[in-house]
């Protein structure tokens, strides 16, 4: 008996030790996973903060476009039609029959025998969609003629659709709902592989933001529009905030189209702007589930959204003018007068009104014949305005109330707190709380709101007590491994089932820690570059907290300075160890956040302040220069460069010496032919990491 008792006690002690060891291992594992999760979350937070800051800048730039257009129109009141010619080539076909338009495209755009991509004939069939999927999987490109024909037919179908589409699950078992794709073709192909292609038995709804950021936005549009034409009752589309030609200028889609379809790119873009304006705004399933891209506000009116002419909203970034606005009120300030003076010079300048550059004769015969077919000669409008003319076309007048309704449903985000507040981080729409959600659902006898618009780490998120679902279908949105994608399967019981996935070409063999480290490193790199473009302003703010010029300030002061300049709403105290060096007393060596970074100076003539300004506003300047470069050759005149920069700097209230701009303009005209390759010029102004640069060398 005694021996047996001894064995039992020994086993008990061993078991106790094993349990304690297991608890310690489990505790260590949980702590390690919590640290990884924290790193992954703040990396995602950094990416999102920078993304929203860029959207704010885009909205501010749209104000610049609006001001530019309004004032040029005022200065040229004798030629009231001068801003209506840009889209004549597209509107000429609006009143003609569909068959005639398709025939005209066949006549004016020849498909060479050497073309090896898919050949389409209309009306499309399921075999055509299969051919497109196969071609794009192997990186083939659809010919411009078929793209234009496809877009024209898509517009014809979309125009017949209501603003709010009503669907029912009673005709099929489940409806698949996809969120943002953002040009990521691999995600769309993976969805079709896992879930099947759209068909009468497999309906889909894509909830906006098909384009921008990714490299294959055009292919995604072609696939979706082709399925829409084959299955108009089973493939459904909602408009997103990126289905907007002004947004596309900044986030890559415009450049993608011009790169892939150089000679016919402008025609494709013009037609796409019209197609985007006809996309439905929302969808309601079984009269219970509301699906729209962004969100709602406390003033969202589904009845109004269902009735107004949605094609009036060419761009949500150009609000309607108040009816009470008088022309004389536009010249209230000295800044406005300065802008107007510059515009007059631009209108009179020979360089801006007639400059074509050495690339003029590169136009193909087919492109020239197309120009004649679509309305003859161009107007005398300066090239700075040609892309903006679309905003001034004679369309039915859009009211401020209608504009706000659309902005709110395309740009808003949910929040956990009650109420409805301005979305200051995106610069448009609002933040809506659970009380706002409940009121709208109750008002329209709805059960649930499904929206997209926000990247979520797991591809989806459920908030507001299960009443609001966010679905995001672009995996690896910011960086390889940054997030999963997901889609929803909605059955007749209206119980959502989430399917997650992640396209993993390079990270399959990496550990979780390695994948998180890659995402974290990429996020911190982007943040450091953002910080460095504000070096002068940050240094000045830091020194206000350091009157004795010690080079050190407290952590609290450093965090306040960072947020006051960058406005990114980031946890700066948490990030301090990753961004700056700390003293023995935990004070911050504030200049260390600029270590290992520099902005290359491609020309000695460029002053340091001007270098930082060009680097900070490089994306904005690229958009403006692309507007000036109406044939997308990459070349603008010296006078266009100088006058546009003067106008833009006055808009931002940046004090840059005119002589410095003049010297710079002549210095970057390398071959002295009076033109500037602005893409090459802007590419030179970017933040570089000294260590990486040395390693590359």
- What residues does each domain of the chain span? 121-319+402-501, 534-595, 608-689
Torsion angle of C-alpha atoms 455, 461, 463, 467, degrees rounded to 10: 110
Strand order in the sheet with 413-414: 413-414, 430-432, 420-422
Phi, psi (rounded to 5 degrees) for 463 = -135, -175
Cβ neighbours of 155 (radius 10 Å) = 22
Interval 606-625 mean pLDDT = 72
pLDDT of residue 280: 98
Residue 98 has pLDDT above 80, yes or no: no
Interval 131-138 mean pLDDT = 96
Cα 472 from chain centre: 14
Cβ–Cβ < 8 Å for 265, 257 = yes
Per-residue pLDDT of 662-677, as tens digits, reads 777 777 666 677 777 7
Per-residue pLDDT of 262-277, as tens digits, reads 889 989 999 999 999 9
Cβ–Cβ < 8 Å for 642, 676 = no
Considering only CA atoms, which of 275, 156, 139, 154 is closest in space to residue 219?
139
Interval 18-36 mean pLDDT = 86
Interval 323-345 mean pLDDT = 44
Comparing 100 with 352, which gets the higher pLDDT? 100
Residue 112 three-state SS: coil
d(CA 422, CA 491): 35
Residue 612 has pLDDT above 50, yes or no: yes
Residue 186 has pLDDT above 70, yes or no: yes
Radius of gyration of the chain (CA): 28
* Least reliable range by pLDDT among 43-52, 193-202, 414-423: 43-52
CA angle 272, 278, 280 (to 5 degrees): 125
d(CA 487, CA 490): 10
Confidence bin at 510 (pLDDT 50/70/90): confident
Residue 327 has pLDDT above 70, yes or no: no
Share of the chain above pLDDT 70, in %: 74
Per-residue pLDDT of 154-183, as tens digits, reads 999 999 999 999 999 876 679 999 999 999
Strand order in the sheet with 175-178: 235-237, 204-206, 175-178, 485-490, 496-501
pLDDT of residue 100: 67
Torsion angle of C-alpha atoms 549, 552, 556, 558, degrees rounded to 10: 80
Could you identify the residue written with the tokens 């992954």? 40
For residue 491, list its beta bridge partners: none
Judge whether 121-319+402-501 and 534-595 match in fold: no
263 to 368, 399, 409, 622: CA distances (angstroms):
10, 36, 36, 21
Phi/psi-derived region of residue 419, left when phi > 0, alpha when psi is between -120 and 50, beta in every other case = left
The answer as to CATH 3.40.50.970 being correct for domain 608-689 is no
In this structure, what token pair is assigned to residue 195?
């879930």
Residue 19 has pLDDT above 70, yes or no: yes
Residue 389 has pLDDT above 90, yes or no: no
Q: Mark whether 242 is an active-site residue.
A: yes
For residue 468, list its beta bridge partners: 449, 463
* Least reliable range by pLDDT among 70-74, 179-183, 548-552: 70-74
Question: Side-chain half-sphere of 600: how many Cα atoms within 13 Å?
Answer: 12
Q: Which CATH architecture has domain 534-595?
A: Orthogonal Bundle (1.10)
Cβ–Cβ < 8 Å for 236, 204 = yes
Comparing 420 with 604, which gets the higher pLDDT? 420
Confidence bin at 403 (pLDDT 50/70/90): very high
Comparing 373 with 110, which gets the higher pLDDT? 110
H helices of 261-360, in order, are 265-277, 302-307, 334-348, 350-354
Residue 359 three-state SS: coil
Given 236, 242, 270, 386, the catalytic residue = 242
Interval 475-481 mean pLDDT = 92
In this structure, what token pair is assigned to residue 255?
């450049």
In this structure, what token pair is assigned to residue 35?
């640290």
CA angle 244, 250, 252 (to 5 degrees): 90
pLDDT of residue 64: 67
418 to 299, 431, 437, 439: CA distances (angstroms):
15, 9, 10, 12
376 CB-contact burial (10 Å; exposed 0-12 / middle 13-18 / buried 19+): exposed
Residue 65 has pLDDT above 70, yes or no: no
Question: Would the CA dihedral through 626, 632, 638, 643 be positive or negative?
Answer: negative
Cβ–Cβ < 8 Å for 320, 607 = no
CA angle 99, 105, 108 (to 5 degrees): 140
Residue 278 has pLDDT above 80, yes or no: yes
Question: Side-chain half-sphere of 255: how many Cα atoms within 13 Å?
Answer: 18
Phi, psi (rounded to 5 degrees) for 592 = -70, -15
Share of the chain above pLDDT 90, in %: 48
d(CA 468, CA 612): 42
347 to 75, 351, 381, 646: CA distances (angstroms):
9, 9, 8, 14
Interval 234-244 mean pLDDT = 97
d(CA 128, CA 139): 16
Confidence bin at 69 (pLDDT 50/70/90): low
CA angle 493, 287, 233 (to 5 degrees): 90
Confidence bin at 637 (pLDDT 50/70/90): confident
Residue 76 has pLDDT above 90, yes or no: no
Cis peptide before 59 (omega within 30 of 0): no
Cβ–Cβ < 8 Å for 145, 111 = yes
Comparing 648 with 18, which gets the higher pLDDT? 18
Phi, psi (rounded to 5 degrees) for 432 = -115, 135
d(CA 430, CA 557): 30
User: Looking at 426-484, which runs of residues are DSSP E strands?
Assistant: 430-432, 448-451, 460-463, 468-471
Task: Provide CB contacts within 8 A for 440, sequence distance 6+.
Answer: 296, 300, 446, 449
Residue 351 has pLDDT above 50, yes or no: no
Pick the CATH number of 121-319+402-501 from 3.90.1150.10, 3.40.50.720, 3.60.21.10, 3.40.228.10: 3.60.21.10
* Least reliable range by pLDDT among 23-27, 127-131, 380-384, 427-431: 380-384
d(CA 594, CA 624): 29
In this structure, what token pair is assigned to residue 1?
């008996």
In this structure, what token pair is assigned to residue 657?
């010496």
Phi, psi (rounded to 5 degrees) for 158 = -65, -35
Query: What's the pTM?
Result: 0.81
First to last CA, the chain: 79
pLDDT of residue 326: 43
Considering only CA atoms, which of 220, 168, 280 is closest in space to residue 473?
220
């Amino acid at each position: 008996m005694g021996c047996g008792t001894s064995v039992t006690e020994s086993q008990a002690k061993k078991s106790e030790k094993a349990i304690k060891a297991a608890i310690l291992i489990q505790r260590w594992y949980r702590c390690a996973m919590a640290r990884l999760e924290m790193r992954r979350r703040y990396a995602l937070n950094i990416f999102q903060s920078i993304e929203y800051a860029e959207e704010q800048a885009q909205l501010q730039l749209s104000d610049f476009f609006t001001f530019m257009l309004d004032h040029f129109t005022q200065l040229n009141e004798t030629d009231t039609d001068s801003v209506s010619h840009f889209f004549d080539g597209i509107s000429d076909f609006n009143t003609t029959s569909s068959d005639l338009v398709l025939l005209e495209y066949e006549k004016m755009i020849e498909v060479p025998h050497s073309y090896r991509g898919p050949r389409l004939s209309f009306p499309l069939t399921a075999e055509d969609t299969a051919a497109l999927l196969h071609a794009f999987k192997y990186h083939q490109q659809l010919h411009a003629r078929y793209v234009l024909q496809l877009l024209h037919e898509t517009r014809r179908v979309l125009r017949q659709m209501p603003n709010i589409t009503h669907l029912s699950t009673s005709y099929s078992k489940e409806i698949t709902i996809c969120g943002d794709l953002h040009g990521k073709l691999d995600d769309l192909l993976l969805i079709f592989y896992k879930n099947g292609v759209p068909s009468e038995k497999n309906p889909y709804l894509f909830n906006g933001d098909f384009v921008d950021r990714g490299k294959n936005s055009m292919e995604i549009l072609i696939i979706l529009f082709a399925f829409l034409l084959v299955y108009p009752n089973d493939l459904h589309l909602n408009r997103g905030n990126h289905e907007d030609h002004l947004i596309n200028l900044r986030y890559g889609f415009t450049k993608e189209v011009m790169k892939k379809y150089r000679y016919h790119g402008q025609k494709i873009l013009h037609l796409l702007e019209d197609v985007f304006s006809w996309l439905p705004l929302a969808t309601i399933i079984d009269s219970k589930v509301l699906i729209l891209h962004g969100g709602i506000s406390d003033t969202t009116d589904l009845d109004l959204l269902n009735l107004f002419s949605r094609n009036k909203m060419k761009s949500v970034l150009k609000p309607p003018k108040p009816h009470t606005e008088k022309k004389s009120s536009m010249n209230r300030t000295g800044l406005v007068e300065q802008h107007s003076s510059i515009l007059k010079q631009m209108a009179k300048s020979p360089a801006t009104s007639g400059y074509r550059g050495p690339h003029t004769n590169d136009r193909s015969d087919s492109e020239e014949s197309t120009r004649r077919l679509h309305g003859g000669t161009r107007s005398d409008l300066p090239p700075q305005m040609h892309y903006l003319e679309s905003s001034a076309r004679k369309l039915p007048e859009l009211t401020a109330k209608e504009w706000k309704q659309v902005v709110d449903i395309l740009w808003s985000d949910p929040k956990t707190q009650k109420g409805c507040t301005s979305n200051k981080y995106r610069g448009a729409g609002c933040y809506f709380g659970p009380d706002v959600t409940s009121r709208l659902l109750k008002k329209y006898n709805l059960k649930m709101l499904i929206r997209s618009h926000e990247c979520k780490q797991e591809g989806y998120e459920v908030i507001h007590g299960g009443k609001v679902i966010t679905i995001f279908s672009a995996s690896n949105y910011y960086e390889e491994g940054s997030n999963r994608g997901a889609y929803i399967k909605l059955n007749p019981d209206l119980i959502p089932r989430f399917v997650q996935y992640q396209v993993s070409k390079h990270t399959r063999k990496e550990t979780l820690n390695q994948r998180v480290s890659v995402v974290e490193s990429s996020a911190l790199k982007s943040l450091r570059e953002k910080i460095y473009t504000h070096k002068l302003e940050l240094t000045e703010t830091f020194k206000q907290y350091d009157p004795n010029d010690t080079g050190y300030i407290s952590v609290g002061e450093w965090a306040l300075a960072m947020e006051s300049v960058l406005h990114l709403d980031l946890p700066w105290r948490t990030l301090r160890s990753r961004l700056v060096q700390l003293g023995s007393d935990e004070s911050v060596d504030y200049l260390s956040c600029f270590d290992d970074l520099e902005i290359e100076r491609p020309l000695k003539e460029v002053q340091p302040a001007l270098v930082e300004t060009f680097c900070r506003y490089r994306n904005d300047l690229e958009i403006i220069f692309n507007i000036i470069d109406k044939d997308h050759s990459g070349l603008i005149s010296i006078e266009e460069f100088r006058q546009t920069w003067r106008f833009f700097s006055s808009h931002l209230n940046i004090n840059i010496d005119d002589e410095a701009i003049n010297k710079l303009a002549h210095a970057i005209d390398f071959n002295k032919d009076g033109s500037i390759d602005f893409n090459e010029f802007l590419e030179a102004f970017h933040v570089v990491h000294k260590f990486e640069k040395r390693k590359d060398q």
